[in-house]
DNA sequence: GGCTATACCTAGTGTTACTAGGTGTCAAGC
DNA sequence: GCTTGACACCTAGTAACACTAGGTATAGCC
């Protein structure tokens, strides 16, 4: 998968996995890999800044935990849930559009 | 539709419309708008540079015509046809991946 | 002790759709 | 004739963002 084609879609994906279960950053990467069947093997340099951006936008909230290893666990906020809905709808429109032209 | 989410997908869309019929730049914009039901209303500053890039990459070829107005008509090349196939396959993989995670 | 997987971070890069301008032609309406 | 709007082309600069390439540190296993 080439890097650019993910642009604009990453935030929704992260919101989707975190909405199911609060996760720390590294676990988000694992979850994306697993749920995509290995297709989404994102580097940390992609995911961590995205998490910070989502938190700055108030769509995620984070908390440091220390059960053994120090981890920053992210949960989805109300606004994040709402934005996830918007992302899903936007994806429907977008994919229908591409499908109509490309195929 | 937000601008970034198109990134990495535009080239395939242009190849798709030009593969059906040779078109000049302005007509490519119209064709994309029509085939997408109005969803893809791309500015000229997006499409013209993309056409130049595709020609530089050998995926399109252009010819100036003068039947009334001066127009630059683009046709798809053999390499362009092949790349269009790759784009379609890449889209299938990509959309399946997003679908798996997002929904 | 050394190694691997886990876990976090960020400064800088590259690509690319878009903005905001520009030039010129043609047809229709006044 | 003149103006307006659609047609038709172009490009320099901007913004956004996934990614590269580094860095630090801990836990568990051999």
Write the pLDDT tens digit of every residue in B77-97.
999 999 999 999 999 999 999
State the Cα–Cα distance between residues B3 and B16, nearest whole angstrom: 20
Which CATH number fits the domain B7-102, given the four candidates 3.40.50.720, 3.40.430.10, 1.10.10.10, 3.30.360.10? 1.10.10.10
Question: Which residue ranges make up each domain of chain A?
Answer: 3-102
CA distances from B1 to A7, A40, B63 (A): 13, 23, 32
Asked if A97 and B32 come within 8 Å (Cβ–Cβ), the reply is: no
Mean per-residue pLDDT pooled into runs of 10, chain A (103 residues): 94 98 97 95 97 98 90 98 98 97 94
Asked if A98 and B103 come within 8 Å (Cβ–Cβ), the reply is: no
**Domain formed by A3-102, architecture:** Orthogonal Bundle (1.10)
Spell out the per-residue pLDDT of chain B, length 103, in tens: 898 999 999 999 999 999 999 999 999 999 999 999 999 999 999 999 999 999 999 999 999 998 788 999 999 999 999 999 999 999 999 999 999 999 8
Other Cβ atoms less than 10 A from the Cβ of B62: the count is 17
CB burial class (10 A; 0-12, 13-18, 19+) of residue B37?
exposed
State the Cα–Cα distance between residues A58 and A72, nearest whole angstrom: 16
User: Is the minimum CB–CB distance between A85 and chain B shorter than 8 Å?
Assistant: no
CA nearest to nucleotide C15 C1': residue: A4
């Amino acid at each position: 998968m080439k890097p650019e084609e993910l642009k604009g879609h990453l935030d929704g994906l992260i919101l989707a996995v975190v909405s199911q279960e609060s996760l720390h950053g590294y676990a988000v990467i694992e979850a994306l890999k697993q749920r995509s069947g290995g297709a989404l093997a994102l580097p940390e340099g992609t995911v961590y800044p995205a998490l910070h951006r989502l938190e700055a936008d108030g769509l995620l909230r984070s908390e440091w935990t220390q059960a053994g290893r120090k981890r920053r666990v992210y949960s989805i906020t109300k606004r994040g849930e709402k934005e996830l809905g918007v992302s899903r709808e936007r994806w429907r429109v977008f994919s229908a559009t591409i499908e109509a032209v490309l195929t």
